[in-house]
Chain A
């Protein structure tokens, strides 16, 4: 058989970074901010560690890194203050929940219609 015909298209395999959990300092470095600022966001309840109960034993995952970068974007690009960021987070979360609920309701309605 022709070799070309046997060729299998190989897609590039990518793996998520398995560097997490991060310490507070590592999280700050990946987010491009100072550890003191991360601490501030923690005090304001904008970020939460996944484990640990003292500063030295706090650990964070990639969700925290995503949130940290989003906080920075909102502050930098929209001039939102920290309280404003907290409100935006809350509203985005609510929209997310409502979307999920809507999707579920739509699914069950279309299920009933098909019956």
Chain B
């Protein structure tokens, strides 16, 4: 079977004569840098993280490293590789003579390349950090995929159907996931056995979603390895900016401008809500910046209730006045006992 050669020393950035300690240090540094949960570019990090793990799996194990070194130093990363005669016999050999040991760490969903499997069989799952055991059903499980989904406030309230594109690794259809076709490296997946595919789905957004809530779509994450189940797709709700409302937790905030006499005398003003405009009463003596509460017209909350609409009142002053208006303001100034600085 032809597969792509992997230069594990190059992947870990260590010389061929590196000590175990140097290899472990380099692995730990790179693993922290490229872990998909903390890296900036998750997609790139994920592929890199898998390569790093595979390289460490081989180079940290003296037996496997020895076998790997026997291939010689002339191979280039990515070159088409055929195991030399006799190598096939080594497949399926138990590792370290302690198959199924409790001390083995399992990299859930960290797929090993076909190059690895051609050399060492498919059973390698030793991993870099020992002393950690997990549920057997999770070994080989595909990684979860996460993404954000922008939801308008109206959609959050009423629910909707949205189209999404999801990029994820799936088994290569051209080679059936084996990485090779008629003795050559599969030209579709380049020998990886998996390809990144963009799927378009219609996803149902249930009514009442809140900011940062994650919607889980079971089985739409990355394909599993070795018969493992697929991961899940997690979509994190991000509420889109609305022209009329700002968001404060479960409340919506809308700002309304009123004339000075409306603030003093009180008025009815029309304000928008997500359920259509309503008239609200601005009580006499309302101050600039005061907030009026319209109960139950905010965003949905857990448990089916809704937050409030807070209407912020901004008193606007006319920039120009007519002669008649000036007269009236002057009269008011003379007669009013109001002094805001007293």
Contact = CB atoms under 8 A, between A and B. Distances in A.
Given A32-B135, A33-B134, A50-B302, A17 B35 contact: no
A12 B132 CA distance: 39
A72 B134 contact: yes
30 contacts: A11-B200, A11-B201, A12-B201, A12-B202, A13-B203, A13-B204, A14-B217, A16-B203, A16-B216, A17-B218, A33-B134, A33-B135, A50-B302, A62-B213, A62-B214, A63-B214, A66-B144, A66-B214, A66-B234, A69-B144, A73-B37, A74-B35, A75-B129, A76-B129, A77-B35, A77-B107, A78-B31, A79-B128, A79-B129, A107-B241
Contact of B202 (A13, A18, A92): A13
B129 A16 contact: no
Given A14-B201, A16-B206, A32-B138, A70 B37 contact: yes
Contacts of B241: 107
A13 B162 CA distance: 9
Interface string A87-115: 01000100000000000000100000000
A115 to B, nearest CB: 16
Given A66-B216, A76-B127, A78-B129, A14 B202 contact: yes
Given A18-B206, A92-B38, 14 more contacts: A16-B203, A16-B235, A62-B214, A63-B212, A63-B213, A65-B216, A72-B134, A73-B35, A77-B35, A78-B31, A78-B35, A79-B128, A88-B37, A92-B37
Contact of B161 (A13, A20, A88): A13
B106 interface: yes
A16 B132 contact: no
Given A14-B204, A14-B220, A76 B213 contact: no
B42 to A, nearest CB: 12
Contacts of A63: 212-214
Contacts of B105: 76
B339 interface: no
Interface residues of B, number: 44
A69 B144 CA distance: 9
A107 to B, nearest CB: 8
Which interface class (under 10, 10 to 19, 20 to 34, 35 or more) fits A? 20 to 34
A85 B137 CA distance: 23
A15 interface: yes
Interface string B23-65: 0000010011001011000000000010001000000000000
Interface of A: 11-18, 20, 32-33, 50-51, 61-63, 65-66, 69-70, 72-79, 88, 92, 107
A72 to B, nearest CB: 7
Of all A-B residue pairs in the complex, the 8 with the closest CB atoms, nearest first, are A79-B129, A32-B138, A16-B215, A32-B135, A62-B216, A15-B204, A13-B202, A11-B202
A32 B134 contact: yes
B216 A76 contact: no
A66 B234 CA distance: 8
Interface in B160-216: 161, 163, 200-204, 206, 212-216
Contacts of B234: 62, 66
Nearest to B143: A73
